[in-house]
Structure 1
């Protein structure tokens, strides 16, 4: 009689973890998963149990992932929490690379213009009043910021905005927004500053040197990505 070895079920304090072998065929894996979940259902108590599925180095199609979800959901009191894999598609890899790279742009962002990048932005130039720069990550401006800068566009509250001369009309980081500085502040000389979200969930503008303490992992240059 064939031994079932492609599916391992482990109980945790949060529910069940299913380890699915990545070397067998998908159809073989489905059959064994169905068999083992049916067998284990006999000993489970009558309550909802969260299930995490780990498929190792197997890349599932959307259809296969939905099949596994349906198979598990049809078993009594099982709820699929997540399905995780060690591999990703080429499109996902490209997106991940874009979100973690620095895009360098040398230009002036004039009134009415919007520059947006998926990852970090290094702008060599000014952002004029009425101009807007948006980044999924951090924004570094080698010039004067007089317009709008929105860092952490996709929700990254660790993102920062830095500029050689900081005179913004507005700064946004994730879902936090600052108002424009008053005229007295705007007339002051403001050089090499950065904006970040502090412990009170508010945006603070401070000297650039504080970054090494507040965001020690902000540099991706040492060791590469």
Structure 2
């Protein structure tokens, strides 16, 4: 099985890394792929090529990411947009907890129940359909969400929700409400998904690697993670 695969998607190109392969194998195959892309008839230095790197159920270290960036930077106008993983590392979760003094919640919220918390929340439990978790702060979710989450209650649209909300009923940020069933195909099953209110006052989705662009103030607050 290949360690590195290039695929096209609706946003351009994606390089998928085998999360069970050794980093040395990935680096070698990645180097070969980048060299071939630089020589491809579909590539020109003027037009360039942008792509995401998907690491699956594996979080690469800052050093490993930089190794891959250095390989890409040797080719003119080949650009890595972002690294996308399906998991949040323990280091990231604890960093978010420590820097933001969040409340850790491990309980189950059942149908008809709602739990209101002040401040930021690291949620490790499960929210059943019809259950609701409400906070006036940010939400960092490593649990299961099938119900409703609301951050920035009641009207603060600067707050963020980070986690896998693919199976949620609703995500609410301040006064903005997203019915997830209407957006299911657009929402990744990724614990590093960031839900935020954009400049047009509508809900958008991105990845934790892009937190600096999404919210520079929040990025600064957590120490440039």
Q: What TM-score do the two structures reach when normalised by structure 2?
A: 0.48
More helix as a share of residues: 2
Tell which structure's C-alpha radius of gyration is larger: 1
